[in-house]
């Protein structure tokens, strides 16, 4: 079986506060982007061919971890320990850059769970898969349903959200409502990463303005219903304030998106990727 795990972007990202367990509570809107995908193949291994655990091969973009530490393997181990599923062969061609805030690794893990659920007829519904995905990483649960969602907690509490853009004032409607897509009628999402830029999650969190914890912010669910021309002043990624001073090339890319005609632009996640929403 072969699937194509896609990436995501964040429309706004508020860091609400730090939790007793060391994680941070967040508020964000996840949107799936289907144009940027990895390639994931899982094949059941013939009985007796390998006595060890599953085998994984990575190609494409070189990752900073070994195949044994990849989230796809952790997803297999999780279901192997619970259901005793047999050994599989996993091949991952990596196209989504890591350390970019695009959730590629989380997507790979979620798609692995969904594929194993289908291959071995485990009968897990979306809710059951989301519960298991949340054990693998904060963003993983989102990729189970893989549709626009308002997320809170550590990114694991999800509320389905209609992806519908309100037109700019004085213009025609920009497009029909469309979920699970990087395009909404006459809009398109463009994602770029400055050459050589990489932002670790640890670095982004260390520079956060903690005065924002608990501060009153615009409700993201209401903000996205406003005309897109107003998003620039309503929808903010808190990590930009900590990442931009240390990585001016990322800030410059966001400014360049607006110069090229983006209706809205932002860094996604903790960076380093920047997206722009443009007229199609």
Q: In whole angstroms, what is the distance from residue 190 CA to residue 5 CA?
A: 18
CA 20, CA 202: separation in Å to the nearest integer?
A: 17
Exposed / middle / buried, residue 46 (Cβ in 10 Å: 0-12, 13-18, 19+): exposed
| Residue 139 designated active-site | yes
Model confidence over 48-75: pLDDT tens digits?
A: 555 567 889 999 998 878 888 999 999 9
pLDDT tens sequence across 239-253: 998 899 999 999 999
Torsion angle of C-alpha atoms 107, 113, 115, 120, degrees rounded to 10: 180
Domains of the chain: 2-159 (3.30.230.10), 165-279 (3.30.70.890)
- How many other C-beta atoms lie within 10 A of the C-beta of residue 66? 10
Q: Which of 186, 169, 168 is nearest to 177 (CA)?
A: 186
156 counts as catalytic = no
Separation of first and last alpha carbons in the chain: 33
pLDDT at 172 over 70: no
**DSSP letter at 184?**
B
pLDDT for residue 51: 54
pLDDT digits (tens, 9 = 90+) for 189-213: 999 999 988 888 888 888 787 777 7
CA distance 5 to 40: 7
pTM to 2 decimals? 0.88
CB count in 10 Å sphere of residue 126: 12
In this prediction, residues 245-263 reach a mean pLDDT of 96
Given the residues 108, 139, 156, 238, select the one marked as catalytic.
139
Checking if the pLDDT of 133 tops 80, the result is: yes
Higher pLDDT, residue 56 or 185: 56
Identify the pLDDT of residue 55. 86
**How large is the greatest C-alpha to C-alpha distance in the chain, in angstroms?**
68
Report residue 168's pLDDT band, with 50, 70 and 90 as the boundaries: very low
Instruction: Provide the pLDDT for residue 114.
Output: 98
């Amino acid at each position: 079986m072969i699937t194509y795990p896609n990436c995501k972007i964040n429309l706004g990202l508020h860091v609400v506060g730090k939790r007793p367990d060391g994680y941070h509570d967040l508020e964000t809107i996840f949107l799936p982007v289907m144009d940027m995908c990895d390639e994931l193949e899982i094949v059941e291994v013939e009985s007796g061919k390998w006595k060890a655990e599953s085998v994984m091969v990575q190609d494409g973009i070189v990752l900073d971890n070994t195949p044994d530490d990849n989230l796809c393997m952790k997803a297999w181990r999780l279901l192997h320990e619970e259901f005793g599923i047999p050994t599989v062969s996993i091949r991952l061609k990596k196209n989504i850059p890591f350390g970019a805030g695009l959730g590629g690794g989380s997507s790979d893990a979620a798609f692995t769970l969904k594929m194993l659920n289908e291959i071995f007829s485990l009968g897990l519904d979306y809710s059951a898969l989301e519960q298991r995905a949340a054990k693998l990483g904060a963003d993983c649960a989102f990729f189970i349903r893989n549709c626009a969602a308002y997320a809170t907690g550590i990114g694991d509490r999800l509320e389905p959200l209609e992806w519908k853009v309100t037109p700019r004032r004085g213009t025609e409607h920009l497009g029909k409502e469309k979920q699970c897509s990087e395009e909404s009628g006459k809009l398109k999402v463009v994602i770029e990463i400055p050459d050589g830029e990489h932002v670790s999650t640890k670095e982004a969190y260390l520079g956060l303005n903690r005065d924002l914890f608990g501060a009153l912010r615009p409700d993201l669910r209401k903000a996205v219903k406003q005309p897109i021309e107003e998003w620039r002043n309503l929808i903010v990624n808190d990590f930009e304030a900590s990442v931009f001073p240390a990585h001016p090339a990322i800030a410059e890319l966001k400014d360049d998106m607006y110069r090229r005609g983006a209706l809205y632009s932002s860094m996604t996640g903790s960076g380093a990727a920047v997206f722009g929403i443009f007229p199609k």
